[in-house]
Chains A and B, each alone.
Chain A
Amino acid sequence: MDIAKLDQLAIVLVVAALATAPLVFTSSYAIGVLTVALCYGIWATSWDFMSGLTGRENFGHSLFIGAGAYTAGFLNVQFALSPWWSLLAAPVVAVAFSLILGFPTLRLKGPYFALAMLSGSAVMQNFTIIFSTYTGGQDGLNGIDPILDSTLAYYYLVLTCLIATTVILKLIANSTWGTILRAIRGDEASCQASGINVNFYKIAALMISAAFAGLGGALYAHYQLQVGPDLFAVVLSINIIIMVYVGGLGSIYGPVGGALLLSILTESLRAFSEYRLWVYTLVLIFILFFMPQGLIAPLWRRIRKAAA
Protein backbone atom coordinates (compact mmCIF):
# COMPACT_ATOMS: atom_id res chain seq x y z
CA MET A 1 0.00 0.00 0.00
CA ASP A 2 1.12 3.50 -0.81
CA ILE A 3 2.52 5.24 2.29
CA ALA A 4 0.82 8.56 1.52
CA LYS A 5 -2.50 6.76 1.11
CA LEU A 6 -1.90 4.92 4.39
CA ASP A 7 -1.30 8.22 6.17
CA GLN A 8 -4.46 9.70 4.68
CA LEU A 9 -6.46 6.66 5.71
CA ALA A 10 -5.18 6.91 9.28
CA ILE A 11 -5.99 10.62 9.46
CA VAL A 12 -9.53 10.03 8.17
CA LEU A 13 -10.05 7.16 10.64
CA VAL A 14 -8.77 9.12 13.64
CA VAL A 15 -10.79 12.22 12.78
CA ALA A 16 -13.88 10.09 12.17
CA ALA A 17 -13.39 8.32 15.51
CA LEU A 18 -13.03 11.64 17.34
CA ALA A 19 -16.04 13.09 15.53
CA THR A 20 -18.31 10.14 16.36
CA ALA A 21 -17.06 9.56 19.92
CA PRO A 22 -19.49 12.06 21.54
CA LEU A 23 -22.34 10.54 19.51
CA VAL A 24 -21.57 7.14 21.03
CA PHE A 25 -20.75 8.32 24.56
CA THR A 26 -23.51 10.88 24.89
CA SER A 27 -23.47 11.67 28.60
CA SER A 28 -22.35 15.19 29.43
CA TYR A 29 -19.68 13.59 31.66
CA ALA A 30 -18.24 11.64 28.71
CA ILE A 31 -18.33 14.66 26.42
CA GLY A 32 -16.56 16.64 29.15
CA VAL A 33 -13.82 14.03 29.48
CA LEU A 34 -13.35 14.04 25.73
CA THR A 35 -13.26 17.85 25.53
CA VAL A 36 -10.56 18.00 28.21
CA ALA A 37 -8.65 15.26 26.39
CA LEU A 38 -8.69 17.41 23.24
CA CYS A 39 -7.30 20.36 25.23
CA TYR A 40 -4.48 18.13 26.47
CA GLY A 41 -3.88 17.20 22.85
CA ILE A 42 -3.38 20.88 21.93
CA TRP A 43 -1.05 21.37 24.91
CA ALA A 44 1.01 18.27 24.23
CA THR A 45 1.52 18.89 20.52
CA SER A 46 2.41 22.56 21.12
CA TRP A 47 4.99 21.45 23.73
CA ASP A 48 6.40 18.98 21.23
CA PHE A 49 6.76 21.64 18.53
CA MET A 50 9.25 23.63 20.59
CA SER A 51 10.89 21.08 22.84
CA GLY A 52 10.54 17.90 20.80
CA LEU A 53 12.01 19.51 17.70
CA THR A 54 14.72 21.76 19.14
CA GLY A 55 15.55 19.63 22.19
CA ARG A 56 15.23 22.60 24.54
CA GLU A 57 12.99 21.17 27.27
CA ASN A 58 10.29 23.45 28.57
CA PHE A 59 9.36 22.55 32.15
CA GLY A 60 6.76 25.27 32.47
CA HIS A 61 4.31 24.86 29.61
CA SER A 62 1.55 25.50 32.16
CA LEU A 63 2.72 29.13 32.18
CA PHE A 64 1.30 29.57 28.67
CA ILE A 65 -1.79 27.52 29.47
CA GLY A 66 -2.51 29.49 32.63
CA ALA A 67 -1.80 32.79 30.87
CA GLY A 68 -4.27 31.89 28.12
CA ALA A 69 -6.92 30.63 30.54
CA TYR A 70 -6.68 33.63 32.87
CA THR A 71 -6.75 36.00 29.89
CA ALA A 72 -10.02 34.38 28.86
CA GLY A 73 -11.31 34.65 32.42
CA PHE A 74 -10.32 38.32 32.87
CA LEU A 75 -11.73 39.50 29.58
CA ASN A 76 -14.96 37.64 30.10
CA VAL A 77 -15.56 38.11 33.84
CA GLN A 78 -13.92 41.48 34.59
CA PHE A 79 -14.44 43.24 31.27
CA ALA A 80 -17.55 41.37 30.12
CA LEU A 81 -16.16 40.89 26.62
CA SER A 82 -17.69 38.30 24.32
CA PRO A 83 -16.02 34.92 24.95
CA TRP A 84 -14.97 34.79 21.30
CA TRP A 85 -12.37 37.48 22.07
CA SER A 86 -10.65 34.97 24.35
CA LEU A 87 -9.60 32.83 21.41
CA LEU A 88 -7.78 35.84 19.94
CA ALA A 89 -6.41 37.43 23.12
CA ALA A 90 -5.21 34.28 24.90
CA PRO A 91 -2.55 33.38 22.28
CA VAL A 92 -1.34 37.00 22.22
CA VAL A 93 -0.82 37.09 26.00
CA ALA A 94 0.84 33.65 25.98
CA VAL A 95 3.23 34.82 23.25
CA ALA A 96 4.07 37.89 25.35
CA PHE A 97 5.03 35.57 28.22
CA SER A 98 7.12 33.43 25.87
CA LEU A 99 9.07 36.51 24.83
CA ILE A 100 9.64 37.69 28.40
CA LEU A 101 11.06 34.31 29.42
CA GLY A 102 12.45 32.97 26.17
CA PHE A 103 14.26 36.03 24.85
CA PRO A 104 16.82 36.29 27.66
CA THR A 105 17.21 32.57 28.41
CA LEU A 106 17.11 30.80 25.04
CA ARG A 107 20.27 32.63 24.02
CA LEU A 108 22.19 30.97 26.85
CA LYS A 109 23.63 27.49 26.93
CA GLY A 110 22.80 25.35 29.92
CA PRO A 111 19.60 24.79 31.85
CA TYR A 112 18.50 28.44 32.13
CA PHE A 113 15.55 28.20 29.75
CA ALA A 114 14.16 25.07 31.44
CA LEU A 115 14.61 26.61 34.88
CA ALA A 116 13.14 29.96 33.86
CA MET A 117 10.03 28.26 32.49
CA LEU A 118 9.71 26.09 35.60
CA SER A 119 10.05 29.01 37.99
CA GLY A 120 8.03 31.33 35.77
CA SER A 121 4.99 29.06 36.00
CA ALA A 122 5.48 28.65 39.77
CA VAL A 123 5.75 32.42 40.23
CA MET A 124 2.58 33.02 38.23
CA GLN A 125 0.76 30.40 40.31
CA ASN A 126 1.75 32.35 43.44
CA PHE A 127 0.75 35.64 41.84
CA THR A 128 -2.78 34.34 41.28
CA ILE A 129 -2.99 33.83 45.04
CA ILE A 130 -1.18 37.06 46.05
CA PHE A 131 -3.36 39.25 43.81
CA SER A 132 -6.52 37.51 44.89
CA THR A 133 -8.60 40.71 44.59
CA TYR A 134 -8.26 40.44 40.84
CA THR A 135 -7.72 36.71 40.36
CA GLY A 136 -10.07 35.28 42.96
CA GLY A 137 -7.17 33.61 44.78
CA GLN A 138 -7.55 29.86 45.34
CA ASP A 139 -11.14 29.97 44.12
CA GLY A 140 -10.07 31.48 40.82
CA LEU A 141 -12.36 33.30 38.44
CA ASN A 142 -15.85 31.89 38.28
CA GLY A 143 -18.86 32.50 36.10
CA ILE A 144 -17.03 32.46 32.75
CA ASP A 145 -19.50 32.35 29.86
CA PRO A 146 -19.55 29.36 27.54
CA ILE A 147 -18.60 30.11 23.94
CA LEU A 148 -21.32 27.81 22.62
CA ASP A 149 -24.42 26.78 24.53
CA SER A 150 -24.37 23.12 23.58
CA THR A 151 -21.53 21.02 25.05
CA LEU A 152 -21.65 18.85 21.95
CA ALA A 153 -21.19 21.84 19.63
CA TYR A 154 -18.34 23.07 21.87
CA TYR A 155 -16.69 19.66 21.64
CA TYR A 156 -16.64 20.07 17.85
CA LEU A 157 -15.19 23.57 18.16
CA VAL A 158 -12.35 22.27 20.36
CA LEU A 159 -11.86 19.33 17.99
CA THR A 160 -11.57 21.76 15.06
CA CYS A 161 -8.97 23.75 17.00
CA LEU A 162 -7.00 20.58 17.81
CA ILE A 163 -7.03 19.46 14.18
CA ALA A 164 -6.02 22.94 12.98
CA THR A 165 -3.21 23.12 15.59
CA THR A 166 -1.86 19.70 14.67
CA VAL A 167 -2.04 20.34 10.93
CA ILE A 168 -0.37 23.76 11.17
CA LEU A 169 2.41 22.52 13.48
CA LYS A 170 2.99 19.41 11.37
CA LEU A 171 3.19 21.47 8.17
CA ILE A 172 5.78 23.78 9.75
CA ALA A 173 7.68 20.78 11.13
CA ASN A 174 7.78 19.22 7.65
CA SER A 175 8.96 22.46 6.05
CA THR A 176 12.49 23.85 5.95
CA TRP A 177 11.71 25.44 9.33
CA GLY A 178 11.33 21.98 10.83
CA THR A 179 14.63 20.91 9.30
CA ILE A 180 16.33 23.86 10.97
CA LEU A 181 14.63 23.22 14.33
CA ARG A 182 15.74 19.58 14.28
CA ALA A 183 19.25 20.70 13.34
CA ILE A 184 19.27 22.92 16.45
CA ARG A 185 18.52 19.78 18.44
CA GLY A 186 21.45 18.05 16.69
CA ASP A 187 24.13 20.68 17.29
CA GLU A 188 23.72 24.40 17.85
CA ALA A 189 27.31 25.35 17.03
CA SER A 190 27.08 23.54 13.70
CA CYS A 191 23.87 25.42 12.98
CA GLN A 192 25.67 28.70 13.52
CA ALA A 193 28.52 27.49 11.35
CA SER A 194 25.88 26.77 8.69
CA GLY A 195 24.86 30.43 8.79
CA ILE A 196 21.64 29.85 10.72
CA ASN A 197 20.51 32.36 13.35
CA VAL A 198 19.67 29.78 16.01
CA ASN A 199 18.36 32.30 18.56
CA PHE A 200 15.79 33.59 16.08
CA TYR A 201 14.49 30.08 15.34
CA LYS A 202 14.40 28.99 18.98
CA ILE A 203 12.52 32.10 20.09
CA ALA A 204 10.13 31.91 17.14
CA ALA A 205 9.44 28.23 17.86
CA LEU A 206 8.69 29.05 21.49
CA MET A 207 6.33 31.85 20.44
CA ILE A 208 4.41 29.50 18.14
CA SER A 209 4.32 26.85 20.87
CA ALA A 210 3.04 29.42 23.39
CA ALA A 211 0.35 30.73 21.04
CA PHE A 212 -1.28 27.32 20.67
CA ALA A 213 -0.86 26.47 24.36
CA GLY A 214 -2.60 29.76 25.21
CA LEU A 215 -5.40 28.97 22.77
CA GLY A 216 -5.80 25.58 24.47
CA GLY A 217 -5.91 27.34 27.84
CA ALA A 218 -8.73 29.62 26.68
CA LEU A 219 -10.68 26.68 25.25
CA TYR A 220 -10.27 24.86 28.54
CA ALA A 221 -11.43 27.93 30.51
CA HIS A 222 -14.60 28.24 28.44
CA TYR A 223 -15.34 24.55 28.97
CA GLN A 224 -14.76 24.58 32.75
CA LEU A 225 -16.37 28.05 33.00
CA GLN A 226 -13.81 28.61 35.76
CA VAL A 227 -10.06 29.14 35.98
CA GLY A 228 -7.88 28.46 39.02
CA PRO A 229 -4.22 28.60 40.10
CA ASP A 230 -3.80 24.89 39.25
CA LEU A 231 -3.64 25.86 35.58
CA PHE A 232 -0.17 27.26 36.31
CA ALA A 233 0.88 24.17 38.29
CA VAL A 234 4.16 22.44 37.56
CA VAL A 235 2.39 19.07 37.75
CA LEU A 236 0.33 20.07 34.69
CA SER A 237 3.56 20.74 32.76
CA ILE A 238 4.97 17.40 33.87
CA ASN A 239 1.82 15.54 32.83
CA ILE A 240 2.04 17.13 29.39
CA ILE A 241 5.69 16.09 29.05
CA ILE A 242 4.74 12.51 29.97
CA MET A 243 2.01 12.57 27.31
CA VAL A 244 4.53 13.75 24.72
CA TYR A 245 6.99 11.00 25.63
CA VAL A 246 4.28 8.34 25.47
CA GLY A 247 3.18 9.72 22.12
CA GLY A 248 6.65 9.96 20.62
CA LEU A 249 8.93 12.99 20.94
CA GLY A 250 9.27 15.27 17.92
CA SER A 251 6.51 13.70 15.82
CA ILE A 252 3.80 16.36 16.49
CA TYR A 253 0.95 13.86 15.87
CA GLY A 254 2.21 11.30 18.38
CA PRO A 255 1.80 13.61 21.40
CA VAL A 256 -1.84 14.20 20.42
CA GLY A 257 -2.35 10.44 20.61
CA GLY A 258 -0.43 10.26 23.88
CA ALA A 259 -2.55 13.03 25.36
CA LEU A 260 -5.87 11.47 24.29
CA LEU A 261 -4.76 8.03 25.47
CA LEU A 262 -3.50 9.08 28.90
CA SER A 263 -6.25 11.57 29.73
CA ILE A 264 -9.00 9.13 28.77
CA LEU A 265 -7.13 6.34 30.59
CA THR A 266 -6.98 8.44 33.77
CA GLU A 267 -10.74 8.91 33.67
CA SER A 268 -11.62 5.32 32.79
CA LEU A 269 -9.51 4.09 35.70
CA ARG A 270 -11.93 5.73 38.13
CA ALA A 271 -13.46 2.26 38.54
CA PHE A 272 -10.31 1.23 40.39
CA SER A 273 -10.96 4.05 42.89
CA GLU A 274 -7.98 4.17 45.28
CA TYR A 275 -5.85 1.88 43.10
CA ARG A 276 -6.27 4.22 40.16
CA LEU A 277 -2.90 5.90 40.58
CA TRP A 278 -1.27 2.48 40.94
CA VAL A 279 -2.66 1.22 37.68
CA TYR A 280 -1.90 4.46 35.87
CA THR A 281 1.68 4.50 37.12
CA LEU A 282 2.23 0.84 36.23
CA VAL A 283 0.94 1.45 32.71
CA LEU A 284 3.29 4.42 32.39
CA ILE A 285 6.29 2.48 33.68
CA PHE A 286 5.45 -0.35 31.29
CA ILE A 287 5.27 1.99 28.29
CA LEU A 288 8.37 4.02 29.13
CA PHE A 289 10.41 0.92 30.04
CA PHE A 290 9.53 -1.22 27.05
CA MET A 291 9.00 1.60 24.56
CA PRO A 292 11.45 4.34 25.53
CA GLN A 293 10.84 6.01 22.16
CA GLY A 294 7.15 6.24 22.99
CA LEU A 295 4.09 4.35 21.88
CA ILE A 296 2.05 6.14 19.20
CA ALA A 297 4.56 7.56 16.71
CA PRO A 298 7.04 4.64 16.80
CA LEU A 299 4.17 2.19 16.38
CA TRP A 300 2.89 4.08 13.38
CA ARG A 301 6.38 4.23 11.86
CA ARG A 302 6.58 0.45 12.22
CA ILE A 303 3.21 0.01 10.49
CA ARG A 304 4.35 2.26 7.66
CA LYS A 305 7.58 0.32 7.29
CA ALA A 306 5.69 -2.97 7.18
CA ALA A 307 3.34 -1.58 4.53
CA ALA A 308 6.12 -0.21 2.35
Chain B
Amino acid sequence: MTVLLEVAGLSKRFGGLHAVKDVSFSLQAGSITGVLGPNGAGKTTMFNLLTGFLPFDSGTVNFEGRSLAGLAPHLIVNRGLARTFQLARPFVGMTVIENVEVACLAPRVRHEGKAKQRAAALLDQVGLGDKVDHLVDVLPYGDLRRLEIARALATRPKLVLLDEPFAGLGAGEIQPLADLIRVLHRSEGLTILIIEHKLREFMQLVQEVIAMDFGEIIAVGTPAAIVRDPRVVEAYIGTSEQAALATAGGENGAA
Protein backbone atom coordinates (compact mmCIF):
# COMPACT_ATOMS: atom_id res chain seq x y z
CA MET B 1 0.00 0.00 0.00
CA THR B 2 1.19 3.49 -0.74
CA VAL B 3 0.87 6.55 1.41
CA LEU B 4 -1.47 9.07 -0.21
CA LEU B 5 -1.47 11.83 2.40
CA GLU B 6 1.23 12.49 4.93
CA VAL B 7 0.73 15.14 7.58
CA ALA B 8 3.54 16.01 9.99
CA GLY B 9 3.66 18.53 12.81
CA LEU B 10 0.65 20.47 11.51
CA SER B 11 -0.14 23.47 13.73
CA LYS B 12 -2.47 26.46 13.64
CA ARG B 13 -3.00 29.19 16.22
CA PHE B 14 -5.81 31.72 16.38
CA GLY B 15 -4.34 34.30 18.76
CA GLY B 16 -4.02 32.50 22.06
CA LEU B 17 -5.97 29.44 20.93
CA HIS B 18 -3.92 26.53 19.64
CA ALA B 19 -6.63 25.16 17.35
CA VAL B 20 -4.48 22.46 15.76
CA LYS B 21 -1.34 21.37 17.61
CA ASP B 22 1.43 19.25 16.17
CA VAL B 23 -0.89 16.89 14.29
CA SER B 24 0.81 14.05 12.43
CA PHE B 25 -0.79 11.13 10.63
CA SER B 26 -0.76 9.46 7.24
CA LEU B 27 -3.43 7.92 5.07
CA GLN B 28 -2.90 4.85 2.92
CA ALA B 29 -4.33 4.95 -0.57
CA GLY B 30 -7.72 3.24 -0.56
CA SER B 31 -8.27 3.57 3.19
CA ILE B 32 -11.32 4.96 4.96
CA THR B 33 -10.50 6.80 8.14
CA GLY B 34 -12.55 8.67 10.71
CA VAL B 35 -11.75 11.76 12.74
CA LEU B 36 -13.52 11.75 16.09
CA GLY B 37 -13.60 14.37 18.79
CA PRO B 38 -15.85 16.65 20.80
CA ASN B 39 -16.92 20.04 19.46
CA GLY B 40 -14.01 22.46 19.33
CA ALA B 41 -11.42 19.67 19.09
CA GLY B 42 -9.97 21.21 15.92
CA LYS B 43 -11.34 18.71 13.39
CA THR B 44 -12.83 21.21 10.93
CA THR B 45 -9.84 23.55 11.34
CA MET B 46 -7.59 20.65 10.39
CA PHE B 47 -9.74 20.04 7.28
CA ASN B 48 -9.46 23.71 6.39
CA LEU B 49 -5.68 23.52 6.73
CA LEU B 50 -5.43 20.42 4.55
CA THR B 51 -7.64 21.91 1.82
CA GLY B 52 -6.01 25.35 1.72
CA PHE B 53 -9.00 27.27 3.11
CA LEU B 54 -6.74 28.33 5.98
CA PRO B 55 -2.93 28.69 5.90
CA PHE B 56 -1.11 26.62 8.51
CA ASP B 57 1.56 28.06 10.81
CA SER B 58 3.95 25.12 10.76
CA GLY B 59 4.22 21.52 9.70
CA THR B 60 4.08 19.76 6.36
CA VAL B 61 1.27 18.30 4.28
CA ASN B 62 2.36 16.02 1.45
CA PHE B 63 -0.17 14.66 -1.01
CA GLU B 64 1.23 12.00 -3.33
CA GLY B 65 4.66 13.07 -2.14
CA ARG B 66 4.20 16.73 -3.11
CA SER B 67 3.76 19.56 -0.62
CA LEU B 68 0.40 21.34 -0.47
CA ALA B 69 1.79 24.24 1.58
CA GLY B 70 0.64 27.66 0.38
CA LEU B 71 -1.60 26.33 -2.40
CA ALA B 72 -4.98 27.99 -2.97
CA PRO B 73 -8.03 25.76 -2.34
CA HIS B 74 -8.87 25.36 -6.03
CA LEU B 75 -5.33 24.21 -6.83
CA ILE B 76 -5.50 21.57 -4.12
CA VAL B 77 -8.81 20.30 -5.53
CA ASN B 78 -7.16 20.07 -8.93
CA ARG B 79 -4.41 17.93 -7.40
CA GLY B 80 -7.10 15.42 -6.45
CA LEU B 81 -8.04 16.32 -2.89
CA ALA B 82 -11.70 17.32 -2.59
CA ARG B 83 -13.88 18.15 0.39
CA THR B 84 -17.43 18.73 1.54
CA PHE B 85 -18.55 21.30 4.09
CA GLN B 86 -20.03 20.73 7.52
CA LEU B 87 -23.01 22.89 6.60
CA ALA B 88 -24.06 22.10 3.05
CA ARG B 89 -23.18 25.05 0.83
CA PRO B 90 -25.04 24.69 -2.46
CA PHE B 91 -24.99 27.26 -5.25
CA VAL B 92 -28.32 28.87 -4.42
CA GLY B 93 -30.48 29.95 -7.32
CA MET B 94 -29.20 27.13 -9.53
CA THR B 95 -30.55 23.70 -10.32
CA VAL B 96 -29.23 20.46 -8.86
CA ILE B 97 -27.50 19.46 -12.09
CA GLU B 98 -25.95 22.91 -12.56
CA ASN B 99 -24.49 22.62 -9.06
CA VAL B 100 -22.57 19.51 -10.07
CA GLU B 101 -21.75 20.82 -13.56
CA VAL B 102 -19.69 23.61 -11.99
CA ALA B 103 -17.35 21.06 -10.44
CA CYS B 104 -17.20 19.21 -13.80
CA LEU B 105 -15.67 22.44 -15.16
CA ALA B 106 -12.67 22.31 -12.84
CA PRO B 107 -9.41 22.26 -14.85
CA ARG B 108 -8.65 18.75 -13.56
CA VAL B 109 -11.68 17.26 -15.33
CA ARG B 110 -12.68 19.96 -17.79
CA HIS B 111 -10.90 18.34 -20.76
CA GLU B 112 -13.22 15.34 -20.44
CA GLY B 113 -16.01 17.55 -21.75
CA LYS B 114 -19.65 16.50 -21.49
CA ALA B 115 -20.06 18.30 -18.15
CA LYS B 116 -23.83 17.84 -18.27
CA GLN B 117 -23.70 14.07 -18.90
CA ARG B 118 -21.07 13.56 -16.22
CA ALA B 119 -23.11 15.60 -13.75
CA ALA B 120 -26.24 13.57 -14.55
CA ALA B 121 -24.37 10.29 -14.06
CA LEU B 122 -22.96 11.46 -10.71
CA LEU B 123 -26.40 12.52 -9.53
CA ASP B 124 -27.72 9.08 -10.43
CA GLN B 125 -24.90 7.57 -8.44
CA VAL B 126 -25.71 9.51 -5.26
CA GLY B 127 -29.45 8.95 -5.65
CA LEU B 128 -30.55 12.37 -6.87
CA GLY B 129 -31.21 11.24 -10.45
CA ASP B 130 -34.88 12.18 -10.28
CA LYS B 131 -34.21 15.70 -9.00
CA VAL B 132 -31.70 17.04 -11.53
CA ASP B 133 -33.86 19.99 -12.56
CA HIS B 134 -35.00 21.00 -9.07
CA LEU B 135 -33.74 24.28 -7.69
CA VAL B 136 -31.35 23.58 -4.81
CA ASP B 137 -33.19 26.24 -2.80
CA VAL B 138 -36.07 23.79 -2.23
CA LEU B 139 -33.97 20.66 -1.63
CA PRO B 140 -34.29 18.91 1.76
CA TYR B 141 -31.16 18.80 3.88
CA GLY B 142 -30.45 15.13 3.30
CA ASP B 143 -30.39 15.69 -0.45
CA LEU B 144 -28.04 18.67 -0.04
CA ARG B 145 -25.56 16.35 1.69
CA ARG B 146 -25.72 13.98 -1.27
CA LEU B 147 -25.32 16.92 -3.62
CA GLU B 148 -22.16 17.97 -1.73
CA ILE B 149 -20.75 14.49 -2.22
CA ALA B 150 -21.64 14.45 -5.94
CA ARG B 151 -19.96 17.81 -6.36
CA ALA B 152 -16.80 16.58 -4.63
CA LEU B 153 -16.77 13.42 -6.77
CA ALA B 154 -17.15 15.47 -9.95
CA THR B 155 -13.55 16.65 -9.63
CA ARG B 156 -12.39 12.97 -9.72
CA PRO B 157 -10.60 13.14 -6.38
CA LYS B 158 -8.19 10.56 -5.05
CA LEU B 159 -8.93 11.65 -1.51
CA VAL B 160 -12.21 13.08 -0.22
CA LEU B 161 -12.56 14.83 3.12
CA LEU B 162 -16.15 14.61 4.38
CA ASP B 163 -16.96 17.07 7.17
CA GLU B 164 -19.78 15.60 9.27
CA PRO B 165 -21.74 14.15 6.36
CA PHE B 166 -24.42 12.79 8.72
CA ALA B 167 -25.01 16.04 10.60
CA GLY B 168 -28.62 17.14 10.55
CA LEU B 169 -29.90 13.95 8.96
CA GLY B 170 -32.94 12.06 10.21
CA ALA B 171 -32.52 8.56 11.60
CA GLY B 172 -33.73 6.98 8.37
CA GLU B 173 -31.31 8.95 6.19
CA ILE B 174 -28.07 8.01 7.95
CA GLN B 175 -27.78 4.36 6.94
CA PRO B 176 -28.42 4.98 3.20
CA LEU B 177 -25.77 7.70 3.15
CA ALA B 178 -23.32 5.45 4.99
CA ASP B 179 -24.02 2.77 2.38
CA LEU B 180 -23.34 5.26 -0.40
CA ILE B 181 -19.99 6.24 1.14
CA ARG B 182 -19.11 2.56 1.53
CA VAL B 183 -19.90 1.91 -2.14
CA LEU B 184 -17.78 4.87 -3.24
CA HIS B 185 -14.92 3.59 -1.15
CA ARG B 186 -15.14 -0.01 -2.35
CA SER B 187 -16.08 0.35 -6.01
CA GLU B 188 -14.25 3.55 -6.86
CA GLY B 189 -11.22 2.85 -4.70
CA LEU B 190 -11.64 6.31 -3.20
CA THR B 191 -9.59 7.22 -0.14
CA ILE B 192 -11.87 8.86 2.42
CA LEU B 193 -11.35 10.85 5.60
CA ILE B 194 -14.55 11.55 7.56
CA ILE B 195 -15.18 13.83 10.49
CA GLU B 196 -18.09 12.64 12.57
CA HIS B 197 -19.37 12.25 16.08
CA LYS B 198 -19.97 9.02 17.92
CA LEU B 199 -22.52 7.50 15.47
CA ARG B 200 -22.81 3.73 15.25
CA GLU B 201 -23.05 3.85 11.44
CA PHE B 202 -19.88 5.93 11.32
CA MET B 203 -17.95 3.52 13.52
CA GLN B 204 -18.99 0.62 11.31
CA LEU B 205 -17.94 2.52 8.19
CA VAL B 206 -14.35 3.42 9.00
CA GLN B 207 -11.31 1.17 9.27
CA GLU B 208 -9.32 3.43 11.56
CA VAL B 209 -10.18 6.34 13.82
CA ILE B 210 -8.08 9.37 14.69
CA ALA B 211 -9.36 10.84 17.96
CA MET B 212 -8.72 14.53 18.63
CA ASP B 213 -9.19 16.82 21.59
CA PHE B 214 -7.99 20.40 22.16
CA GLY B 215 -6.32 20.41 18.74
CA GLU B 216 -4.19 17.34 19.38
CA ILE B 217 -4.41 13.72 18.33
CA ILE B 218 -5.06 11.80 21.53
CA ALA B 219 -5.42 8.30 20.11
CA VAL B 220 -5.38 6.34 16.86
CA GLY B 221 -6.83 2.87 16.45
CA THR B 222 -9.60 0.66 15.19
CA PRO B 223 -13.14 1.84 15.99
CA ALA B 224 -13.55 -0.91 18.57
CA ALA B 225 -10.32 -0.01 20.32
CA ILE B 226 -10.81 3.74 20.14
CA VAL B 227 -14.11 3.82 22.02
CA ARG B 228 -12.51 1.95 24.92
CA ASP B 229 -9.42 4.10 24.94
CA PRO B 230 -9.33 5.86 28.34
CA ARG B 231 -8.12 9.15 26.79
CA VAL B 232 -11.04 9.18 24.36
CA VAL B 233 -13.54 8.34 27.04
CA GLU B 234 -12.07 11.09 29.21
CA ALA B 235 -12.35 13.62 26.37
CA TYR B 236 -16.06 12.97 26.25
CA ILE B 237 -16.73 12.86 30.01
CA GLY B 238 -19.03 15.53 31.25
CA THR B 239 -20.48 16.03 27.80
CA SER B 240 -23.72 14.68 26.49
CA GLU B 241 -21.66 12.76 23.97
CA GLN B 242 -20.55 10.31 26.64
CA ALA B 243 -23.70 8.26 26.76
CA ALA B 244 -23.96 8.15 23.01
CA LEU B 245 -20.34 7.13 22.70
CA ALA B 246 -20.79 4.32 25.14
CA THR B 247 -23.85 3.13 23.22
CA ALA B 248 -22.05 3.32 19.90
CA GLY B 249 -19.11 1.40 21.34
CA GLY B 250 -21.34 -1.24 22.85
CA GLU B 251 -23.28 -1.81 19.68
CA ASN B 252 -20.17 -1.74 17.59
CA GLY B 253 -18.53 -4.25 19.90
CA ALA B 254 -21.57 -6.49 19.68
CA ALA B 255 -21.72 -6.24 15.89
Footprint of B on A, CB under 8 Å? Answer: 176, 179-180, 182-183, 185-187, 189-198
Residue pair B77, A192 in contact (C-beta under 8 Å): yes
Residue pair B73, A193 in contact (C-beta under 8 Å): yes
B200 within 8 A of A: no
CA A126 to CA B226, docked complex, whole Å: 68
Residue pair A190, B90 in contact (C-beta under 8 Å): yes
Residue pair A195, B107 in contact (C-beta under 8 Å): yes
CA A193 to CA B102, docked complex, whole Å: 10
Residue pair A182, B105 in contact (C-beta under 8 Å): no
Residue pair A193, B85 in contact (C-beta under 8 Å): yes
Residue of A183, A189, A192, A194 touching B94 (CB-CB under 8 A): A183
Q: How far is the CB of A150 from chain B (nearest CB, A)?
A: 45
CA A195 to CA B82, docked complex, whole Å: 8
CA A120 to CA B161, docked complex, whole Å: 42
CA A68 to CA B78, docked complex, whole Å: 38
Residue pair A189, B85 in contact (C-beta under 8 Å): yes
Footprint of A on B, CB under 8 Å? Answer: 51, 53, 72-74, 77-78, 82-85, 89-94, 98-99, 101-103, 105-109, 115, 151-152, 154-155
Q: B109 — which chain A residues lie within 8 A by C-beta?
A: 195
CA A65 to CA B254, docked complex, whole Å: 73
Residue of B89, B98, B101, B155 touching A195 (CB-CB under 8 A): B155
Q: A190 — which chain B residues lie within 8 A by C-beta?
A: 85, 89-91, 151
Given the known inter-chain contacts A176-B105, A179-B98, please indicate yes or no for A196 contacting B74, CB distance below 8 A.
Answer: yes
Give A194's nearest chain B residue, CB to CB.
B103
Given the known inter-chain contacts A179-B98, A189-B85, please indicate yes or no for A195 contacting B93, CB distance below 8 A.
Answer: no
Q: How far is the CB of B216 from chain A (nearest CB, A)?
A: 26
Q: A183 — which chain B residues lie within 8 A by C-beta?
A: 91, 94, 98-99, 102
Q: How far is the CB of B186 from chain A (nearest CB, A)?
A: 24
Q: A180 — which chain B residues lie within 8 A by C-beta?
A: 102, 105
Residue pair A187, B89 in contact (C-beta under 8 Å): yes
Q: How far is the CB of B142 from chain A (nearest CB, A)?
A: 18
Q: How far is the CB of A72 from chain B (nearest CB, A)?
A: 37
